[in-house]
Chain A
Amino acid sequence: MITSTAPLLDVRELTVTINREGGLVTALDKVSFSINPGEVLGIVGESGAGKSITGAAIIDLLVPPLKRTGGTITLAGTRLDQLSPKAMRSVRGGRIGFVFQDPMTSLNPVITIGQQLCDTIQAHLKLSGSQAKKKALDWLDRVGLPNPDVQFKRYPHQLSGGMRQRMVIALALCADPMLVIADEPTTALDVSVQAHILELLRDLHRESNVSMMLITHDLGVIAKMADRVAVLYAGRVAEISPVGELFNAPKHPYTRGLIRATPMPSATGEMRLDQIPGAMPGLGAVPPGCAFNPRCFKAQSDCRATIPPLYHAESSAFSCFHPLERVTA
């Protein structure tokens, strides 16, 4: 896809390693993707594929022994990987907002909601105390919390899980960042609440046109929210496609396997569930060549010999020597 505007976030060859007894193990291996202004990019993959690590690496919040060891990250022309810690701090929250997964543990239990909002706002925007408070109340309203003045003085434990996650979203967005990274924003919530939160995210995205990087293992969420999707497998990018294309005409065999492994009714109404044989290799156990080759029905000798590079086709990109033909899944 030829874009006339430059991407908002451009990640190239991002590599993250983990320092274990015995040596360095690669957690993310030369991951590259980009996010355009106003778009929602879904990052999807199984548990352990490296999705959360990608998000954390972008804002330099990796937990040691994880370490970013290579690649470039460019946000609206600024090289994030070259910033000083102080400059990075103003990027976090100010230009990139981050939505954490578990609302039960991400909120400081002994500081009021209002205070946490105001602190974030004032850390990035030059506003007076009363102006910050007004903005905070405004955000509480926008994320759908009833009676903002009452909530302002409350503590996190006084809210339900769904309300807390709305609070987390408010905190991520209150300083008006240009990009939001949401790491499994609904996974820790009750099923009944998940749909509401997704709706909220979508509404906020539409209102402000903020770009979003949506990390999830749930293809259903991807289908609802994403414009384009990047599929991660064993720390590498398998495929990047627009969402419609991903579901209807996946290129990478893993992607098709992933879609088929999601339980959904077939045309005749039966539940179809096809598991991919085997399991994704763990850290440090990646086979030579293409990481998926032991489980791939199309694997050939070149797949085992070299790691397939990310090949950019017209509208999508994939790293496979023998991609799938254009056939509906």
Chain B
Amino acid sequence: MTPVVNTPAIARRRSRGGKLLRAMRRAPGPTLCALVIFALLIYAFVVPLFSLNPFEFSGMSVLDSFIPPAWMADGSPDFPLGTDDQGRNLITAMAYGMRTSIIVGFLSVTIGLVLGGSLGLIAGFVGGKVDAFIMRVADVQLAYPALLLAMIIDGAARAVLGAERSVGTAIAIVVMSIGIAFWVQYARTIRSSVMIERDQDYVSAARITGRSNLSIIVLHILPNVMAPVLVIATINLGIAIITEATLSFLGIGIPVTSPSLGTLIRNGNNFLQSGEWWISVWPCLTLVLFVVSVNILGDHLRDVYNPRLRGRS
């Protein structure tokens, strides 16, 4: 009579949740960063609910253009951070820009996660030649910096889709480019976790009871390999947002009609030399603030979930 194996997967998941709360209380810096991220998320998603999109509706007046921030000589309290070349209130413009940046960032990370995760699961679970092939491809891809790959994929997609592109298509191209450029890390992490887990007793037990491979992977193995992957995803979110900002800054990312922070910086750069620094500096600072917070939080999570340190805490 085969002994019933107590699936540790569910038990492990529960204890991880409690650990998370305790860990956050112990670390003031990363918790502060989490708050900053939360505040910026609210800014990016709530402000647009209360104001018209300055990039779609022309409620602005060109007379309002190039107004400096409120504390400067020609500033006005109506426009606390100043206006851009089209007279848009920078606070509103940045909120919309930030929203686009965050959405694109999350989508890219999701694509990378799904793509890398699937390939990693397959490679780890199936092993053999399939595994070798996937890892070989990963190695060749790693020779190239992700930014470059994103650019190349972006360029190739543009060539294929031609000059007439909607904003939706442009966003899709950017998201796919970044996702494909970054799948490798997810794949590797999941693969090694899967290779450890597939030899565990509970997997053998599940096999004996007749479960299909797919359900074993999804129900049993997946929950146990998610933690390190989520940590990577958090760190990668910052990188994804910066990559998108760079692509947009170079003019091959999100178009001006529905800009991200990168596009705003690109636009503002034109006026840097003539002294209207605020148009590009505010988006710069917001971008940096968000990404730095994400990085610090991600670093902290990585330390907390480091399997080597797990035993000690």
**Do A and B touch each other in the complex, judged by CB within 8 A?**
no
